[in-house]
Amino acid sequence: MPPVGERSPVSERSPGRTLPAPDTGPVETVRDLIATSVVLVLAFVSRFWGLNSATDGGTPIFDEKHYAPQSFNISQLGIEENPGYGLVVHPPVAKQIESIGGFLFGYTPLGWRVTAAICGVLVVLLVMRITRRLTRSTQLGLIAGLLLCLDGVTFVTSRIGMLDIYQVLFVVAAAGALLVDRDQMRGRMHRAALAGRVHLTDLGPRLGFRWWRFTAGVMLGLALGVKWSGLYFIAFFGLMTVAWDWALRRRYGVARPLAGALVRDAVPAFASLVIWPLVLHLFSWLPWFADENAVYRHVVGTKVQDNWLPDSIQSWLYYQSSVLDFHAALTTSAGNRHPWESKPWVWPMSLRPMLYYIEQGEDVAGCGQDSCVRAIMLLGTPAIWWLAIPVLAWAFWRAVVCRDGRYAFGLVGYCAGYVPWFFQHDRQMYFFYAAVMIPFFVMLLALVLGEIAGKSTDSPRRQIVGRSIVALYLSLVVVNFIYITPILAGLPITPAEWSLQLWLPSWR
């Protein structure tokens, strides 16, 4: 009991509404930068080591056979002029970037793979920084970066001259930009609250132009310019950022937070994350309009009936409709089957990988026997991918039931790259579509490992046990990755070793 005449502390009330902490992001230290650099060096070495080694007699492998000639065509002529490659079925951005390698190193494996390797390193860097900002923990950021370094899908995708790693880079960069925008808006809202501007209207204050959200729009436009599946991320990320704005206005006691988010935030968000990416996508086609010899540049009068639109626009629209028809007709039910195709329900655990390249027989040397095998298989590191079901289930629980926004962020990115494919499941699909899912999965996995490791407020015994489990798991991932490296990098192995690498019947 307090002394007579004194009021109980419980009865004390501060005047007005207590402002929440702004929580605008982690503080940078030299130690953090050094630790990040160590993982980044590992990513660089792993992506560039033996980059030229696996080729089909010096020529591209798998779908490199489409994109390497197309990108080299761009490096020499500025556009994909050669109709001999058949229908060019993807937008030009990735091939425009890949053409930089062709310009610098010519039509060589290094030429059509070097930019993919650079993008692979940048993805690791972004995942580290995003996870650190998401969790406010440098250690968890480093764990996420290390896991991505040791993931077989990201490793192979970064070392092959295909399109997927470019879309992964731009999608992850867009997610990171939106996360920075969220933290920046927390700071602006807090300053508005201190200035007494939050409750001037029922909708809350205007938060000004949002450069980081605009940057996210640029990245989403580039992702759309790599593959049309970038549209899925525009939709998912757009809804996510408006939900953040709604939650922020509720947090600061705005009278009508949903209306405020829709009026003050959703309208400019639509301009930055929908209109602007579409404009950028159109800009990526300017070389096509400028070159009279571009694919389908002149189809008016032959494949298209002339109308009031300019010929170039009619030709471009026909080109886009041809691409759409190509993908729509490429269905399993119509007999379009590939020996390594897979459906989305087997992607989370990498149950049906993809063989990009194999060479075997007496002509292959280097394994210590008369006959060797060299193969490149797009395979997720089992120690990472086989945890998909429990990790995703836990993430869903934390995000929906516990309302943990950190898990919700990772789930939005993962689902944007995964869920839409179920609505077109009859279409011919491949495991490399899952490459864009794994950066968000390792963020979720890092969050789970952080919970296992425990907090600084836990007992010493709890911390020792938790951190030992995390260290043991990371060691298992390292060993697992080293074991499967020969079939990720195309190293010569014996036929017996090749058989031992194929753990599941669906891997054969």
pLDDT, tens digit (0-9, with 9 covering 90-100), for 415-439: 999 999 999 888 889 999 999 999 9
pLDDT surpasses 60 at 166? yes
Tell me the average pLDDT across 392-403: 96
The two most distant CA atoms of the chain are separated, in Å, by 99
Cα-to-chain-centroid distance, residue 329: 27
> pLDDT digit string (tens) for 436-460?
999 999 999 999 999 999 888 888 9
The predicted pLDDT at position 6 comes to 43
464-469: long-range contacts, CB 8 A cutoff, minimum separation 24 = none
Q: Please state, in angstroms and rounded to a whole number, the distance separating the CA atoms of residues 504 and 508.
A: 7
> pLDDT digit string (tens) for 188-211?
999 999 998 988 999 999 999 999
Q: Please state, in angstroms and rounded to a whole number, the distance separating the CA atoms of residues 262 and 210.
A: 15
pLDDT band at 84; cut points 50, 70, 90: low
Q: Please state, in angstroms and rounded to a whole number, the distance separating the CA atoms of residues 226 and 236.
A: 18
pLDDT surpasses 80 at 85? no
What is the residue whose two structure tokens read 């489409």?
Answer: 66
pLDDT surpasses 90 at 294? no
> pLDDT digit string (tens) for 207-226?
999 999 999 999 999 999 99
What is the residue whose two structure tokens read 């007999």?
Answer: 335
pLDDT band at 96; cut points 50, 70, 90: very high
Q: Render 42-109 in DSSP notation, one character per residue.
A: HHHHHHHTTTTS--BTTB--TTHHHHHHHHHHHHHHSS---GGG----S-SHHHHHHHHHHHHH-SSH
> pLDDT digit string (tens) for 340-368?
889 999 999 999 999 999 998 888 888 88
pLDDT surpasses 60 at 247? yes
Are the beta carbons of 137 and 29 closer than 8 angstroms?
A: no
The predicted pLDDT at position 82 comes to 56
Tell me the average pLDDT across 156-182: 96
pTM, two decimals, is: 0.92
- H helices of 227-261, where? 230-251, 257-260
The residues, ordered by sequence, that sit 6+ positions from 428 with a Cβ below 8 Å of its Cβ are 330, 331, 332, 336, 337, 338, 341
pLDDT band at 7; cut points 50, 70, 90: very low
The predicted pLDDT at position 491 comes to 93
Are the beta carbons of 61 and 357 closer than 8 angstroms?
A: yes
Are the beta carbons of 424 and 328 closer than 8 angstroms?
A: no
Q: Please state, in angstroms and rounded to a whole number, the distance separating the CA atoms of residues 67 and 91.
A: 11
Of 10-14, 129-133, 353-357, 410-414, the poorest mean pLDDT is in: 10-14
Are the beta carbons of 348 and 337 closer than 8 angstroms?
A: no
The predicted pLDDT at position 86 comes to 57
End-to-end CA distance of the chain: 75
| Residue, of 1 and 43, whose pLDDT is higher | 43
The predicted pLDDT at position 58 comes to 84
The predicted pLDDT at position 424 comes to 86
The predicted pLDDT at position 321 comes to 87
| Residue, of 85 and 284, whose pLDDT is higher | 284
pLDDT surpasses 90 at 290? no
